[in-house]
Structure 1
């Protein structure tokens, strides 16, 4: 049995969403955000990081 090292689709979707949200708060293109760089290194302050976590777009309405 072979196993894939690719993340599950849900993980990929979450990573994409987080990248897009971070880009929004940083006001830079999402393509400039690297997954191996901590958001604080981009200058994303703790208040903005908290906003990502409680983003109202996650609430079903």
Structure 2
């Protein structure tokens, strides 16, 4: 498959997290072709760091 071709059914893999225009997003890449997408995190689901058990370590 060349760099410009797309597969018919994407197999998505999470490859990282970044901020885009001030919004935290998870980056997904297709394992079969070169397409990718950014999925914004839902701000209403965020938990403050101090409220997690990890903050106690």
Tell me which protein shows more strand as a share of its residues.
Answer: 2
Tell me which protein shows more helix as a share of its residues.
Answer: 1
TM range (shorter): under 0.3
Structure number with greater Rg is 2
What TM-score, normalized to structure 2?
Answer: 0.28
